[in-house]
Amino acid sequence: MDRLSLDDLFDRRLDFPDLSASKRFSRLVGIDEAKTRVTKLMAVLINPAGPRAWASKHHKGADTLLDYVERRPPLVILGGDVGTGKTELAETVGDAVARQEHIPVTLYPMSLATRGSGKVGEMTRLLSAAFDATLDAAEKLKRPSGNRAGGGVILLVDEADALTQSREDGHMHHEDRAGVNAFIRGVDRLAEKRLPAAVILCTNRLTAIDPAVQRRAADIFEFERPNDAQRRAVIEVPLEEAGFSSREIDRVVEMTGPTKRRPIGFTFSDLTQRLLPILVLDAYPDKPVTFDRAIELIERMNPTPPFRTAGSKG
């Protein structure tokens, strides 16, 4: 078979540091703990020289402790409902890692086409090729033990349940099972070689991810819809810029949360991609944004519905 090109395997490739990605990362307000933890974890996986330098300064001789850190599988899983910020974090955390570790980082977002067309062996071939490309890129960046990596690679798999669904499902097609096996082999190969590379899985259905994949994760992060404080963190500055008072912002925060009419609140993307732009576009080009009009518009909006699996209720 012909060798697959990078364009066949990945939607695009993003190189960090990147100013646009930095701005997107900084605008992920309300999930500061997740941002910090994912950044540190990805940095340790991609550049083990960083923890070694830290240990040399603070804990000399802590070789066993460091070994446990370095042996963590190069896989992170981000799970949660739609619009909760997990994909945006996955697409931009490479910039934070690049700036923190002072190394270039490249993101390889795996194309959904990698699932293939269902032909026998195709998914396995495509997944294996995607990991081969990641391994090849990371091999070129590896440096002798103890030295800072020449860069890092992040393989991003969004909508991961389409590729790594549980093999315990009795109705699962044998080709899908083979694809999960190929994914696990790819992660294990990265781990064995200790390359400056890591994999991020994003999924709306964490429970659908194969248990063997979950066991290999260095960490699993679960994202939920924003609470009152998180929604305020998102909308406070832009609404203050539009002239809203603190009391008016409180009202918007309340109305974008769960109400008697609807039991779910707005997602992060509902706020940033729908509500705030709608307020501007409604007033443009000859009116200002006003609180009263904002309330009218919010009352007409419905938050993104929760992700439902087939046969789920409520």
Domain that holds residue 240: 228-300
| Residue 259 and residue 288 in one domain | yes
Residues 59 and 77 in one domain: yes
| Chain-centroid distance, C-alpha 274 | 20
User: What phi, psi does 205 have (nearest 5°)?
Assistant: -130, 80
Average pLDDT over residues 62-91: 91
Give this prediction's pTM: 0.87
Which residues fall within 8 angstroms of residue 115, CB to CB, at 6 or more apart?
Answer: 123, 126, 162, 163, 179
Strands 14-16 and 105-109: antiparallel
User: What is residue 124's predicted lDDT score, i.e. its pLDDT?
Assistant: 79
Asked whether residue 144 falls in the same domain as residue 167, the answer is yes
Task: Single out the residue of 134, 148, 149, 243 nearest to residue 198, CA to CA.
Answer: 134
**Pair (84, 199) in one structural domain:** yes
The CA-based dihedral angle spanning residues 270, 275, 277, 281, taken in that order and rounded to the nearest 10 degrees: 140
The verdict on residue 12 lying in a domain is yes
Choose one of 223, 254, 286: the last residue of a domain.
223
Structure tokens belonging to residue 224: 């939920």
Query: Are 256 and 155 in the same domain?
Result: no
Q: Nearest to residue 127, comparing CAs of 76, 176, 198, 195? A: 176
Q: Cα separation of 153 and 4, whole Å?
A: 19
Q: Are residues 241 and 99 in the same domain?
A: no
Q: What is the pLDDT of residues 95-154, one digit of tens each?
A: 999 999 999 999 999 866 555 555 546 777 888 889 999 999 999 998 887 678 899 999
Residues 192 and 269 in one domain: no
Q: Reduced to 3 states, what is the DSSP secondary structure of residue 90?
A: helix
Residue 85 belongs to domain with CATH number: 3.40.50.300
- pLDDT computed for residue 2 by the predictor: 58
pLDDT tens string 157-191: 987 776 787 666 655 666 677 888 989 999 999 99
Domain count, the chain: 2
**Are residues 129 and 37 part of one domain?**
yes
For residue 17, whether the previous peptide bond is cis, meaning omega lies within 30 degrees of 0, is yes
pLDDT over 80 (residue 32): yes
Among 223, 247, 273, residue at a domain's last position: 223
Res. 311 pLDDT band, cuts 50 70 90: very low
Query: Of 165, 189, 223, which closes a domain?
Result: 223
Q: What is the pLDDT of residue 288?
A: 97
187 and 246 in a single domain? The answer is no
Residue 217, in any domain of the structure: yes
Domain match, 183 and 209 both: yes
198-202, 260-264, 269-273, 308-312, range with the lowest pLDDT: 308-312
314: how many CB neighbours lie within 10 A of its CB?
A: 5
Tell whether 305 is covered by a domain. no
Q: Does residue 87 or residue 145 have the better pLDDT?
A: 87
**What's the rounded mean pLDDT across residues 252-262?**
94
